[in-house]
């Protein structure tokens, strides 16, 4: 029984450090996400395209609609 207690006490610092690191990483992620959410409403949007699905190189195509096999 004494060996189990000694083994548990040996691993206690490692477990405590692991838990503290997990909490520190979690708090950092929460703060980063909070900053992002706070800045998001004031972020500048645009410029948006009039028609994002338009054929941009329509004038430069060699073939017409029916013969364009590319």
| 33-42: pLDDT as tens digits | 999 999 988 8
Q: Which residues of 33-43 are buried (b: 16+ CB within 10 A; e: fewer)?
A: eeeeeeeeeee
The pTM for the full model equals 0.55
- How many residues make up the chain in this entry? 70
pLDDT number for residue 68: 54
| 7-28: pLDDT as tens digits | 999 999 999 999 999 999 999 9
pLDDT number for residue 33: 96
Structure tokens at 8: 């548990």
pLDDT number for residue 43: 85
pLDDT number for residue 47: 85
Task: Find the helix or strand (DSSP H, E) in which 36 lies.
Answer: helix 2-39
């Amino acid at each position: 029984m004494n060996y189990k207690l000694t083994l548990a006490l040996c691993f206690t610092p490692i477990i405590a450090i692991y838990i503290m690191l997990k909490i520190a990483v979690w708090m950092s992620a929460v703060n980063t996400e909070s900053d992002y959410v706070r800045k998001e409403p004031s972020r500048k949007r645009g410029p948006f395209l009039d028609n994002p699905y338009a054929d941009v190189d329509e004038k430069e195509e060699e073939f017409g609609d029916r013969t364009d096999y590319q």
